[in-house]
Every structure is written in structure tokens, then in C-alpha cells.
Amino acid sequence: MLLQPMITFRTIPRSEMLETEILARIAKLETFYKPITGCRVLVELAERHHETGNRVHVRLDLTVPGEEIVVTHEASLHATARDAEQPRETKRDEVDAERKHAVVAIHRAFDTAERRLQDFARRQRGDVKRAVRQPRGRVTRLFPEGNYGFLEADDGHEVYFHRGSVLGDAFDDLAIGTRVLFAEEPGDKGPQASTVKIARRHRARRRAPEPPTALPVA
């Protein structure tokens, strides 16, 4: 592996198994595009909501010439069916569940990164002749205490996003109604945004004042 990645585990125990999975997927990324100059991977256990439980959140930052590719994915730890008669999970069972869902989130994040890296490589080669317009929407719900929110795409469907999905650490700059550009991917509970960027309005250029008309000399 030519690339020296930075792998961080936050609020989840460091695991040699998870680190091996990440390194293997990074090595695979290099087969799609070698000039990756930086790679940062964050794996954390993120609180979301009491109804959905904790979620394993994975953020992948790739630095390539002239661009940064950011991908996030979350996998829910909330059981689909929790029977009251089932024996209570032990601490080891909980850790194993975290690792299992972390592997799912890691693989899905890297699957998305592979597609976006291939798209970037095609653009570099000039294979893409016409740019595809990035989806747009507006923020409709915000939950700062849970570090997540929802946006409504221009076509009307709702998309979940996490603080880590917002580029430029601009989550705290969001408000209800903020216009955003985003990249969407399938999530465990429906559509989720892998990246969210605040849409900046273009200011109208002021026209230079016309010089005064010279009066005829009498």
C-alpha cells in the first residue's frame, strides 16, 4: 500500500479486525485511482434517537488532486425485532454487534467511495462530457443534540443527514429553510445524504455607473 491512511476510532473500541477491513478496502481504492494523496477514516458510535438506538457512523475523506471526496454512512444497532422473552445481551454481545454493524457501514462507505472515485477518474480523463446537476433541497428538520437532521429534496422526498455529512464543519450554520446541495445514497431507514453543502447564492454583479453625458458648449 502506497498510501499511509489515518484511521480513528471514536466512542467505539479499536479493533484489529475492523482496521484490517479498512486497510484492505483502501488498497482496493488504489486500484481504481493511484494518485490518492490523503485518506482519513473515522469510525464512531453516534447517538441518534431513542427510537432508533445508536448508530455506527463511518466517515471517509479522500484527497485527490484538486478535489476532496467525502463519504459518510451509518448502520443502525437497533434490533429489528426485540423479544421480551429473549435473554438480555451481555456486554460481549453488544461489542460484537457494534463490530458487525461497523463492518457493514465500512463496506457501504467504501462502495460509495469506489463509485465516486471512478467518476472522478473518468472526469480527469475527459470521459464525462456533460456535468450532471447535483441534487438540491432545503433543511426541514434539525436535531442539534443528536447531530442529525432532515432535508427535503426539490422533488419532494425526505433525506436524512448526519453532522459528519455536512462539508466544511458547517452543521451549526444550518437553519430551517437553508438551501443545500447534497449527494444521496440508500440508508438502513431510507435515503440519507453522504454529503451536504450549503448552497451559496450568487450576488448580482453591480453595473458600473455610466459616465455623465457631456453638455454642449454654448
User: Tell me: the pLDDT tens digits for 103-122?
Assistant: 888 998 999 999 888 888 88
Give 152's pLDDT tier (boundaries 50, 70, 90): very high
149 occurs within a structural domain: yes
129 occurs within a structural domain: no
Specify the range with the lowest mean pLDDT, choosing from 30-34, 65-69, 158-162, 181-185. 30-34
Specify the range with the lowest mean pLDDT, choosing from 45-59, 101-115, 147-161, 203-217. 203-217
Tell me the HSE value of 12 on the side-chain side, using a 13 A CA sphere: 29
| 37-59 pLDDT tens trace | 889 999 988 765 444 456 788 99
Cβ distance 44 to 9 under 8 Å? yes
101 occurs within a structural domain: yes
Other CB atoms within 10 Å distance of the CB of residue 38: 13
13 and 119 both lie in a single domain:
yes
102 and 16 both lie in a single domain:
yes
Its domain, for residue 67, covers 6-80+90-123
38 and 110 both lie in a single domain:
yes
Counted domains in the chain: 2
182 occurs within a structural domain: yes
Could you tell me the CATH number of the domain that includes residue 159?
A: 2.40.50.140
pTM for the whole thing? 0.57
107 and 46 both lie in a single domain:
yes
Cβ distance 40 to 57 under 8 Å? no
130 occurs within a structural domain: no
